[in-house]
Amino acid sequence: MPKASSTLPIHIRPGNLQTSPAIEAWVHRKLTGAFRRYGAKMTAVEVHFEDVNGHKHSGDDAHCVMEARVNGRAPIAVRARAADLYAAIDAAARKLDSALSRVAERGDTRARRRFRQERGRGAEASAHGDGEAAPEPTLDAANGRLVSDPAADGPPRAIIAGYGPVGRALATELLRLRVPFAVIDTNPSTARKQEGLGVSVLCGDATDPAVLRAAGIETAAVFAVTIPDGDEAVRACAAARMLSPNVHIAARTTFLSQGLVALRAGANSITVEEIATAEAMAREVSRQMASVGAAAS
């Protein structure tokens, strides 16, 4: 019978070779790194063993095939032969890691392209604005919306999930733009503190359909997921998309791999912290180098 992992989706099929607990542990050890990096994209890995020469011994008797099942793609298969099974497993695991890396890199390239396109559209929209400064908003302490906004009595046009530094910065911008919004956060102390500051926070889980409905997801134009936990952010995207097929979901993720999962879960746009940080650092270093070059000349 094939051996199946209880912790990782690795299925070992020994073929005509006799395996052992040590061999199976070696397979798991060698694939741990690949699963740590790409596990969210994978559904299973099958590992096949074969003694290609049977009772006739030669230099490379042990044959190992590893086949990774990747979400939305054809299976990725690699092969390796070596003098013993341990060496064949080592070689196949290295090949599989390289193959998965190439797949992830192609996906990251597409995500970066979408990221830059979204940002470019946002910059173009800002450039075509009328340039007039918006008046300072006034908050209604009862519901966190603008007193002077004629739409303040209607449903929120935007929902912010997560009211940490990113969520608060977004709320400040929405207030400047005079856009009615609702806030969801799981921390009761945040809700109490913000209520004292004039912003009402719905205390609840943004992945809960009942909480999303209470916040107004079915009529909102934008759902901004600023939750720092990537897995929770993905679940919030999926829950919101199920309730509202037309809402624009903007998700914040730490890593690009999380952003790709969020897009598959229903997000329309992503802001990836590692990309934003890299670009900000590149601009700063370039500015410093330009200053050094100007001083030297």
> Could you tell me if 97 and 7 lie in one domain?
yes
> Could you tell me if 39 and 155 lie in one domain?
no
Rounded to whole angstroms, what are the CA distances from 53 to 1, 18, 48, 81?
23, 14, 15, 11
- Considering only residues 122 and 150, tell me which one the structure prediction assigns the higher pLDDT: 122
Q: Residue 91 belongs to a domain with what CATH number?
A: 3.30.160.100
The answer to whether residue 272 sits within a structural domain is yes
> Could you tell me if 8 and 101 lie in one domain?
yes
pLDDT digits over 36-52, tens only?
666 556 677 889 888 76
Instruction: Provide mean pLDDT across the span 61-89.
Output: 84
Domain endpoint, select from 48, 83, 105: 105
If you average pLDDT over each of 57-61, 205-209, 287-291, which comes out highest? 205-209
> Could you tell me if 149 and 76 lie in one domain?
no
Domain endpoint, select from 54, 88, 105: 105
- Considering only residues 216 and 8, tell me which one the structure prediction assigns the higher pLDDT: 216
Band of the pLDDT at 140, cuts 50, 70, 90?
very low
> Could you tell me if 75 and 174 lie in one domain?
no
CA-CA distance, 214 to 244, in Å (whole number)?
13
- Considering only residues 287 and 294, tell me which one the structure prediction assigns the higher pLDDT: 287
Closest CA to 173 of 218, 213, 214, 134: 134
> Could you tell me if 12 and 65 lie in one domain?
yes
**How many domains does one find in the chain?**
2
Lowest pLDDT segment from 128-142, 184-198, 228-242, 248-262 = 128-142
Burial class of residue 243 (count of CB atoms within 10 Å of its CB; 0-12, 13-18, 19+)? middle
| Tokens 């940002």 found at | 119
> Could you tell me if 25 and 152 lie in one domain?
no
The answer to whether residue 293 sits within a structural domain is no
Rounded to whole angstroms, what are the CA distances from 269 to 115, 266, 278?
7, 9, 19
Domain extent for 56: 3-105
CA-CA distance, 66 to 4, in Å (whole number)?
14
Band of the pLDDT at 179, cuts 50, 70, 90?
confident
Per-residue confidence (pLDDT) for residue 104, from 0 to 100: 66
Per-residue confidence (pLDDT) for residue 217, from 0 to 100: 92
Band of the pLDDT at 147, cuts 50, 70, 90?
very low
Q: Which two tokens stand for residue 87?
A: 């060496």
Closest CA to 159 of 138, 137, 144: 144
Q: Which amino acid is present at 48?
A: H
Average predicted confidence (pLDDT) for the chain: 76
Q: Are the C-beta atoms of 78 and 66 separated by less than 8 Å?
A: yes
Q: Residue 200 belongs to a domain with what CATH number?
A: 3.40.50.720
Instruction: Provide mean pLDDT across the span 189-211.
Output: 80
Q: Which two tokens stand for residue 112?
A: 């970066």
Domain endpoint, select from 58, 77, 105: 105
